[in-house]
Amino acid sequence: MESLEKILIQHPFVEGLPSEHIQLILGCAKNVVFEPGKYLFKENEEANSFYIIRSGKVALEIYSPEVGSIIIQTLGEGEIIGWSWMVPPYQWRFDARAIELTRVIELDGTCLRNKCETDPSLGYEIMKRLANVFEQRINAMRIQLLDLYGKK
Amino acid sequence: MDVMIPTTYKVQKFFKETHDTFTIELKSIENKNGFSFEPGQFNMIYIFGVGEIPISISGDPNKHGVLVHTTRAVGTVTREMAKLKKDGIVGIRGPFGKPWPIKEAVGNDILLIAGGIGLAPLRPVIYHVLSHREYYGKIILLYGARTPQDILYRKELERLKSRLDIDIIVTVDRAVKNWTGNVGVVTTLIPRAPFDPINTTAMICGPEIMMRYTIVELLKRGLAKENIFVSMERNMKCGVGFCGHCQYGTEFICKDGPVFSYKEIEHLFGKREI
């Protein structure tokens, strides 16, 4: 577990968390590797994982019968994937597919949720960090929606 | 020489870059000495009988024999330009404007951030820094395009990517499954881009909204305002500060710009009234 701890504390998402919080998170964590083309999860499946990307690249996709899979966003080293584990009904809204060899720390969603309920200081820290990610992604998505490079 | 009188150039080459962008290579008919410019400068291009527009120079500043412009067929003049063929004649006035700070940036990491057709005015910087490689630290290009099909200079970017002394990161706003590159706006590349914020000169060119959010991210990374440069665009007519069409607060984009440091124009940037 020591090596997983070393890996985890280097990730920007947990940077600055006190050691007792790191230990709580580590209790829900495992190291997972996804080959290119493998899905981390698919739309409508039960969302019970939170992924902290160590390396590689993952595409978030929506499937359209007319077009096929449309990539909404790609995420890579230093980023996180998934907050549906925190929000009822705990179902994934997108597909997530590794497009390169991708190494992640996978946190068990139920385990982490329970620890956040029991220890509100951990819950608040996680929520603050997730809110920061929400803010960045919503801002990016808003700019993306503007179709800035299209014809005026 | 009267700066208001165009000199004639002949089209040597014309090629489509993407479905709506094209590049023309021009050679002077009157001036055998070729054409000198600094990266970031622009020309007024006259399509006879149609009109005159400002377009940034996108060729190699070390090659004086040929003048290169890339643009998008989007208005009356550029749509006529898109119909030009080999040996077609255009009028050129220029070069005009303040260039990118390539001399001031010596010793620094060079961070180039382009959106869409905004890569064209930055291409001369790439040529310059690569031909004077030892004077600069890391060279990083972050480029955002609409879709993989809209990536400008794609083959050239692929060739440059194989060099070990430049980092090129491309992202697109939309893609389908066979695209293995990045998807997302160009600003999302900034937090993890490999540059030293203390010793970096950033040069940004793209739609103004993109530049605004790019600056926000660069400031978050710790870049100083005086090390962030943008290329501004307004309706330019004379190109030399006579007519006032491109007035931007107390500045004229054509004469005092188009390249400004963010520190110079922070008080104007994003102001709706200007």
pLDDT tens digits, one per residue of A66-86: 889 999 999 999 999 998 999
Cβ-Cβ contacts under 8 Å for B163 (sequence gap 6 or more)? B130
Of B73, B96, B119, the residue that ends a domain is B96
Of B96, B121, B146, the residue that ends a domain is B96
**B90 in the same domain as B44:** yes
Tens-binned pLDDT, residue by residue, of chain B (274 aa): 789 999 999 999 999 999 999 999 999 988 777 889 999 999 999 999 999 999 999 999 999 889 999 999 999 999 999 999 999 999 999 899 999 999 999 999 999 999 999 999 999 999 999 999 999 999 999 999 999 999 999 999 999 999 989 999 999 999 988 899 999 999 999 998 999 999 999 999 999 999 999 999 999 999 999 999 999 988 888 898 888 888 888 899 989 989 999 999 998 887 787 7
**B209 in the same domain as B132:** yes
Angle at B214 between CA B134 and CA B233, to 5 degrees: 90
Residue B122: inside a domain: yes
Q: What is the pLDDT of residue B236?
A: 87
Cβ atoms of A60 and A75 closer than 8 Å: yes
Q: What is the pLDDT of residue B31?
A: 78
**B223 in the same domain as B130:** yes
Q: What is the pLDDT of residue A151?
A: 61
Q: What is the pLDDT of residue A32?
A: 96
What is the CB-side half-sphere exposure of residue B30 using CA atoms within 13 A?
11
Sign of the four-CA dihedral B69, B74, B78, B81:
positive
**B113 in the same domain as B92:** no
The pTM (predicted TM-score) of the whole model is 0.92
- Which has the higher per-residue pLDDT, A2 or A42? A42
Distance from CA of B144 to the nearest CA of A (A): 9
**Axis-axis angle for helices A2-9, A19-26 (nearest 10):** 120
**B52 in the same domain as B146:** no
**B92 in the same domain as B113:** no
**B119 in the same domain as B211:** yes
Q: Do B173 and A68 touch (CB under 8 A)?
A: no
B178 Cβ under 8 Å from any chain A Cβ: no
**B123 in the same domain as B194:** yes
**Axis-axis angle for helices A19-26, A120-145 (nearest 10):** 80
Q: Which tens digits make up the pLDDT trace of A21-59?
A: 999 999 999 999 999 999 999 999 999 999 999 999 999
Residue B226: inside a domain: yes
A64 Cβ under 8 Å from any chain B Cβ: no
**B76 in the same domain as B121:** no
Distance from CA of A147 to the nearest CA of B (A): 7
With tokens 């590349």, the residue in question is B189
Distance from CA of A100 to the nearest CA of B (A): 8
The superfamily in CATH containing domain A2-145 is: Jelly Rolls (2.60.120.10)
Residue B253: inside a domain: no
| Domain coverage including residue B76 | 7-96
Q: Do A151 and B206 touch (CB under 8 A)?
A: no
**B204 in the same domain as B174:** yes
Residue B190: inside a domain: yes
The pLDDT-based confidence of A92 (bands split at 50, 70, 90) is: very high
The two tokens of residue A91 are 């179902």
Residue B260: inside a domain: no
- Using the predicted structure, report yes or no on whether residue A2 has a pLDDT greater than 70: no
The two tokens of residue A15 are 């940077």
Q: What is the CATH number of the domain that holds B70?
A: 2.40.30.10
From chain B, the residues in CB contact with A67 under 8 A are 176
Q: Which tens digits make up the pLDDT trace of B182-195?
A: 999 999 999 989 99
The pLDDT-based confidence of A149 (bands split at 50, 70, 90) is: confident
Cβ atoms of B214 and B207 closer than 8 Å: no
**B123 in the same domain as B225:** yes
Residue B246: inside a domain: no
Of B63, B96, B129, the residue that ends a domain is B96
Residue B140: inside a domain: yes
Look at chain B and report how many structural domains it folds into.
2
Residue B82: inside a domain: yes
The two tokens of residue B123 are 């291409």
- Using the predicted structure, report yes or no on whether residue A136 has a pLDDT greater than 60: yes
